[in-house]
Amino acid sequence: MSGEPKVKLTKEGHIAFITLNDPSGLNLFDKEVVLTLADIQEELSKDNNLRAAVLQSAGDHFSAGVDLAFLKAVDTRFVKDNLNFLQRTFSRFQELPIPVIASIKGLCYGAGLEIALSCDIRIAAEGARLALPEVRFGLTADQTGTTRLTKLVGIGQAKKMILCTEEVDAQEAYRIGLVEYLVKPEDLESQSLRLAKRIANLPPSAVRFGKWGVNVAAEGNTYAGLMFEQAQSIYCFGTEDKEEAVNAFIEKRKPLFHDK
């Protein structure tokens, strides 16, 4: 058995790579994985050099979900004591100031799909299979799955996947809006990196407020969304990066942003 952690964090320039790295190849979720993810999220939140992140996996699968051996040991007391923390961890990628891209291949079940739902953009390789099968085990998705899936694909599609425990392939996931990009398996890594680099090369404040603005619009009412747009616009118009972006476009050169 490998001595490597089940989740690894690496950084290349302005981009972070979070890699699910379970030696079994199924990237199963257990307490260790969630705690490690929480620590990584905290580190990402404090690294002002980062501008994008990619959540990816080693092996053939993104994640087959929760380790059933761990699930079998969970009781009502554990849920009462830990579910708030679990939900916060599975929501944290949405709260980070940088966009997080989920790079999905193979199986993406249960907790694996729930963590992908918390990312900002999802890229799926052809052949990937996505499902929330919890009802089959006498449960339902409780780590933000029912909430985020419904908001992403609508009530009917969410009920079909959750109540019927229906698996969808990558093509169907793309059709219903569960993933934003569909690529060939051999292109998954390069497309994920290309998108992360594209985001990382944009003005950081504009990206940050763009992400949070969409979040506010999705969660709040129209008035709240418009007020947020006013606030972010007042801030962005006073940044050096805005001036650099405009000047570089006029001068037909590559801009250089400093998040100021």
Phi, psi of 54, rounded to the nearest 5 degrees? -120, 125
Where are the alpha helices (H) located in the chain, listed in sequence order? 31-46, 68-73, 76-95, 111-117, 145-153, 155-163, 170-175, 188-200, 204-219, 222-236, 240-251
Query: For the chain, how big is the Rg over CA atoms in Å?
Result: 19
Active site residue 114: yes
If you count them, how many residues does the chain have?
260
- What is the mean predicted confidence (pLDDT) over 47-51? 96
pLDDT score at 180: 98
pLDDT score at 243: 86
Signed CA dihedral, 242, 244, 246, 249: sign only: negative
Confirm whether pTM is higher than 0.75.
yes
Least Cα distance to 164 among 144, 128, 134, 143 occurs for 134
What are the tokens at 207?
């990206």
Considering only residues 56 and 228, tell me which one the structure prediction assigns the higher pLDDT. Answer: 56
Least Cα distance to 129 among 12, 13, 26 occurs for 26
| Stretch among 11-15, 78-82, 185-189, 213-217 having the lowest mean pLDDT | 78-82
Q: Is the pLDDT of residue 45 over 90?
A: yes
Out of 4, 12, 43, 114, pick the active-site residue.
114
Q: Is the pLDDT of residue 1 over 50?
A: no
Asked if 46 contacts 96 with a C-beta cutoff of 8 angstroms, the reply is no
What CA–CA distance (Å, rounded) separates 62 from 65? Answer: 9
Residue 168 amino acid letter: V
Residue with tokens 């002002």: 48
Out of 134, 172, 189, 240, pick the active-site residue.
134
pLDDT tens-digit readout, 76-128: 887 888 888 888 999 999 999 999 999 999 999 999 999 999 999 999 999 99
Residue 183 amino acid letter: V
Residue 39 amino acid letter: D
Cα 30 to Cα 68, 78, 111, distances in angstroms: 9, 13, 10
Q: Is the pLDDT of residue 143 over 90?
A: no
Active site residue 134: yes
pLDDT tens-digit readout, 55-66: 999 999 999 998
What are the tokens at 64?
């087959």
% of the chain residues with pLDDT over 70: 99
Angle between helices 204-219 and 222-236 (to 10 degrees): 170
Q: Kindly report the average pLDDT of the chain as a whole number.
A: 92
What CA–CA distance (Å, rounded) separates 171 from 132? Answer: 17
